[in-house]
Amino acid sequence: MKIENQVTLEFPSRSANEGFARTAAACFAAQLDPTLEEVNDIKTAVSEAVTNAIVHAYPDVLGKIVLKLRIREDHALEIIVKDWGVGIADVDQARTPLFTTGSEERSGMGFTIMESFTDSLKVRSSPGKGTTVTMVRKIARRAGR
């Protein structure tokens, strides 16, 4: 798939950076002229992916998170969130609704939410090496565009 535009952001795993990441993704996606609903879906998916990296990848230390955003020729936004944290031993189990390795205030719905607000979700992870979450959200073409 041909990439028409892209940006890569790198930031430490501080909770304050979740809001930055979601806003940056929404601003970048504006090139596709999304509806408000599409923008909110993108922001929610990015928020969940970045929060997972902050909370689960680096539970006791600050680490690096990379957010890569790509606009594809098929009028879709590709969102990649990568960390180099603890990794996920069993990705299938982690994608099960209500499963969490976090504290009891965590819902265990992060991957389910990401999946419901995007058109595709892929999760690659290796224990001790980190996790890469790749999401794609197609943006509807508006009449006359």
For residue 93, what pLDDT is reported? Answer: 73
Active-site pick, 48, 70, 78, 137: 48
Looking at residue 89, what is its pLDDT? Answer: 83
Judge whether 48 counts as a catalytic residue: yes
Of 117, 64, 80, nearest in space to 6 by CA: 80
Which entry of 52, 70, 78, 137 is annotated as an active-site residue? 52
What is the number of residues in the chain?
145
Q: How far apart are CA 115 and CA 121, in angstroms?
A: 6
Model confidence at 103: pLDDT above 70: no
**Percent of the chain at pLDDT exceeding 90:** 74
Is residue 106 part of the annotated active site? The answer reads yes
Q: How confident is the model at residue 1 (pLDDT cuts 50, 70, 90)?
A: confident
For 34-72, write each residue's pLDDT tens digit: 999 999 999 999 999 999 999 999 999 999 999 999 999
To which H or E segment does residue 16 belong? helix 16-29
Region of poorest pLDDT, from 9-18, 50-59, 90-99, 108-117? 90-99
- Residues ≥6 apart with Cβ < 8 Å to 23: 43
Which residue ranges form the domains of the chain, and what is each CATH number? Answer: 3-138 (3.30.565.10)
Q: What is the pTM for the complete model shown?
A: 0.89
What average pLDDT score do residues 12-24 get? Answer: 97
Q: Catalytic residue among 72, 106, 115, 124, which?
A: 106
